[in-house]
Amino acid sequence: MQRLRTAYRENFGGGPRTTYPPIAFNNSEENRGQDFPNNTIHSTKYNVVTFFPRFLYEQFRKLTSTYFLLTLIISFIPAISPLSPWPTFMGFAFIQLVAAAREIYDDFKRYKADRKSNRMKYEVVEVTSGELKEVRCSKIRVGDLVYVTQDKQIPADMVLLISSIEGANCYLETAQLDGETNLKMKKAPRETETLSQKEVANLKGVMQCEAPNANLYNFQGTVTFDSLPSVDDNRSTSNNDSNKIPLGPDNILLKNTTLRNTEWVIGVVAYAGQETKLALNQKPPPSKMSTLDKRLNFYVISILLAQLALCLIEFGMAIYFEKKLVDHSWYLSPVDPLWNGVLAFFQYFVILSYIIPLSLVVSLEVIKMIQAQFMEWDDRMRNPETGKGAVAKTSNLNDELGLVEYVFSDKTGTLTENKMIFDKCSVNGRIYNKQAITELLEANNSDGESLGDFFTVLSLCHNVITERDEESNSIKYRASSPDEEALVYAAAENGFEFLGGGSEGRVKVQMRGQTQEYVLLDVLEFSSDRRRMSVVIQDSQGKIWLYTKGSDAMMLPRLAEDGDKELKKKTEEHLSEFSNEGLRTLIIARREVSKSDYESFHKNYTDAASTLEGRDEAVDAVTDPFETQLTLLGATAIEDKLQEHVPETIEYLMEMGIKVWVITGDKQETAISIGHSTKLLRSDMHLAIINAESSEECLNILKEAYDRHNESNKETTAMIIDGHSLKFALADHPDEFLQFALIARSVICCRVTPLQKANVVRLVKEKTGAICLAIGDGANDVGMIQEANVGVGIFGREGTQAARTSDYAIQMFQHLQRLLAIHGRYSLVRSAGVIHYSFYKNFAVFFVQMWWSFFCGYSAQSLYDDWMMTVFNILITSIPPIIYGVFEKDISEKLINTNPRIYNRTQSKRVFTSKTLAVWILAAIYHSLIFFFGTMVVFGEDIWAPNGQSLGVIMFGNVILTLGVTVVQLKICLETSYWTIITFVTYGFSFVVYFVLLALESFTPYNANQFGVMQNLFVVPTFYLWMILGSGACLLPDLTFKFIKQKFFPEEWELLLEEYQRAKKRGTGEEMISDSPWSNHKNPEEQRDDEEPLLPELKKQTKSFP
């Protein structure tokens, strides 16, 4: 019943709940009366009841499926259908069964994963007695006390109450949730940290949590206990609002995280089943449709309209035939002309439906799935350190990778390694490198004292977790931020070693050989909005300090107005210097807090943290004035090195015709420095820097920059804009901003928020209609990744949030070049070729029915056998297009790697257009004319066997079909540029299949019309002569057209290919490759021979990776 209520609420009640019932401690009866779901996980798409209707709904949302269903329905009406409905039904059913099998297979994998998770065994704490009872994960309920041991996954979202560690802390690995490998420390409320297991089992009270939501990094709740066995006297235990204990993200253990370095924990379940944060995050990404699929849908509609027009022609001609000719034909029974026309319309609708290839959609799905698999198998897109490769989250957008015009890239972790190294610092107005720091710390002077204060803050202001290495007996640090980890290590290396925390908020630091103990009173967490972090510390002398670190934009305005002006000025100069070197900077500051001020702050902070509605705003209102009047201590400079081959990759992308925009949260100077080092910016460029304080100023700067560009003979320009100015540009002047951005060679947006990243991508995508790709590695990049036409995530040190929400995930930025130039380009060329050929073969063979209608009195008599018409699509001609779509290469990888401009062929969207499809269809109509009228000319009014027997219209149709199969099979051979043994065998096998099927019909009496076809037809000499002449008549004009086009109207890639082929004949092909300015821009994996096979199972069949 609870599951039904939850399902009803989700589907009919306006979505997820907005309020959450209170949770009673150790009162299962009361909790069961609430609207809480059970802990069963259901991630499957279907079940036994819903599979059939939901699958049909999904399938018939597709235009082609609906079209063929309509055709099938008409074919089952005996008075209308000219064909037997069963071959059509079998073909349609086969296609649907293939699609259903794929859906069932995918859903069964999800079902097995769900079953494994639901059947895991856990222990719950029994009420009152405190004994442990084993239960399945699916049987856990909200309000249960769950006992979890080390290395087990957390079964539901739980609030930590006690643990085996002093201070009731625990450590979680969240890789299964957000991909981050660093351990996260969680802590119990101080009111429960000293309780025993039995005391926890006897707790009475109420926990109030916020409504379930998908935010992994935030949680708000409160708990009120009726009584606490071991609580201090100064803490009231009465149940009233003033004694609510606030709960935050540090107190909650999320489902599917793993308990590490902690023997056991006990927590109370806050959210279960489909309301856990994990379940709420398991939603499909935004639906994206490729340009090729959109065009295909449009062309199918266009062809459908053309088919209806042809049916109208048949309608008119049937009426005319009945009125004018039947009266003079005594052997024909007259019928009503209008009825005859209506009948002809529907009959030819069925017959001409075969011009649309039934198997095209399934073929494309198979092809794209294999293309995506090849991306994952590509050894040249693997991380050499981990051996891990790319991951294709979708295959629908493979061809979109060949159309990219804009790349929007994050900086940290995307262009850089995100491996932070403490490089230098500015303290007391002086810059110190590592060696100078060590020397001065040992000196007993003012500089040494300033550095001591500086590193004291670094050693205490953080959220780092300590681990003891048993082998070396040294301390290792783990942090969610690489910057924070680097700063704590820097402090430790300089004699300020953080030793970890204990009970009651106590932390220890070893300072120059002496252990100092501090009390951690409060932690004001870092967030992307705050851009700073603070801790309130009480030292051994009883003094209370506020230690703060953060970005200069946030920190400098918070310095005390009566502070050292000269020190502030010198520090700002040093910050600019660090940024110009591409270093990441933070301001370090502190202030002493009086006891009365702290008590006032702590009360207000606790009250704000105890609210459920508007907690963030309430907390900010308290912390914002508290983090002011700071004393500047100095600034840190951290180096984040570029990944390998980033400059070469960006240069290659830009030469491909792609505009690269870097969108980062870093300072402007840092962003400009990175721009130069990545070759995004050149020394001869004019940098148009847009820093505006108002909307009007922003508009004026944009106009001036645009006018300067036009007046200076369009010199090469780069736009640099900060987040503050970008706010005005996006809100008030999007057209002017975009007008200038589009003429700039490079664009760098700095100091931007995650929302601004997504808004920039949306603006370019919607205003220009260009294909946009966004790439990033962190959670702050998710918005722009999902907004872009194609989202690419990088498996970074900040976790895999970006990779998990992306369409494609790669290991390193340099792999983007291969993803686009090789896989994307090949995918589009292959898919376009498959669509062209699929329409061509069906038009060529089945448009003959249109010509035949003029000779059969518009009676809808079919030239072909019903079964052969069906197997033509799903057996005879289905395999060659798939093989073409998997292995075809119009040009070799070597030439692509050394000639970026080749990408322009697909980027310009000329590969698949209405013009290219029209050329193929016109060629098909020409071939159908040869098939039909050529056969009539060669064989006359009838086909005669050597014994003088008339073979009739059925044999006439078999001659045309045999010629059609021969020509369409030869046609794909002519279009194939890259031959392998697999290609050769499958093309030949498909041709043989036709004759095997024809033989089965000829030698078995089950189909009277086809019985004896081969025995009679294959003894007619003219038949063989016509196969040769007919094929030549069809394909010679195609070859001539192809020759003229390549000879007199070649494209750039064709000229390059021709030049390379001539060079290979002269033995200078490798020299031509090595002479290219891009020949040295390959990564180490690509230094191998480009023709080396990468798939073990294809080594003997192919020479290179498809």
Residues identified as active-site = 410
Separation between Cα atoms, residue 267 and residue 137, nearest integer Å = 14
- List residues bridging with 634 in a β-sheet: 427, 588
Distances (CA, A) of 955 to 32, 528, 846, 1093: 76, 76, 16, 47
In order, the DSSP letters of 507-576 are: EEEEETTEEEEEEEEEEE---TTT-EEEEEEE-TTS-EEEEEEE-HHHHGGGB-TTS-HHHHHHHHHHHH
| Residue 141 near residue 32 (C-beta atoms within 8 A) | yes
For 314-360, give the secondary structure using H, E and C: HHHHHHHHHHHCHHHCCCCCCCCHHHHHHHHHHHHHHHHHHHCCCCH
Give the helix ranges, DSSP H, for 592-694.
595-609, 615-626, 646-655, 668-677
- CB-count exposure of residue 435 (10 Å: 0-12, 13-18, 19+): exposed
In order, the DSSP letters of 81-129 are: -SS-HHHHHHHHHHHHHHHHHHHHHHHHHHHHHHHHHHT-EEEEEPTTT
Distances (CA, A) of 1042 to 919, 930, 1058: 12, 19, 14
Separation between Cα atoms, residue 333 and residue 331, nearest integer Å = 7
- CB-count exposure of residue 1061 (10 Å: 0-12, 13-18, 19+): exposed
What one-character DSSP code corresponds to residue 286?
P
Separation between Cα atoms, residue 274 and residue 42, nearest integer Å = 8
What one-character DSSP code corresponds to residue 154?
P
* Dihedral-angle region of residue 60 (phi above 0 means left; psi in -120 to 50 means alpha; beta otherwise): alpha
In this structure, are strands 808-810 and 790-794 parallel, antiparallel, or unpaired? parallel
Q: Kindly report the CA angle at 640 between 636 and 642, in degrees rounded to 5?
A: 155
What one-character DSSP code corresponds to residue 396?
T
For 765-816, give the secondary structure using H, E and C: HHHHCCCEEEEECCHHHHHHHHHCCEEEEECECCECHHHHHCCEEECCCCHH
Separation between Cα atoms, residue 151 and residue 1071, nearest integer Å = 57
**For residue 247, what is the enclosing H or E element?**
strand 245-247
**For residue 424, what is the enclosing H or E element?**
strand 416-427
Give the helix ranges, DSSP H, for 872-951.
879-887, 893-898, 904-907, 914-929, 935-939
| Residue 163 near residue 197 (C-beta atoms within 8 A) | no
* Closest C-alpha to 824, from 801, 843, 808, 844: 808
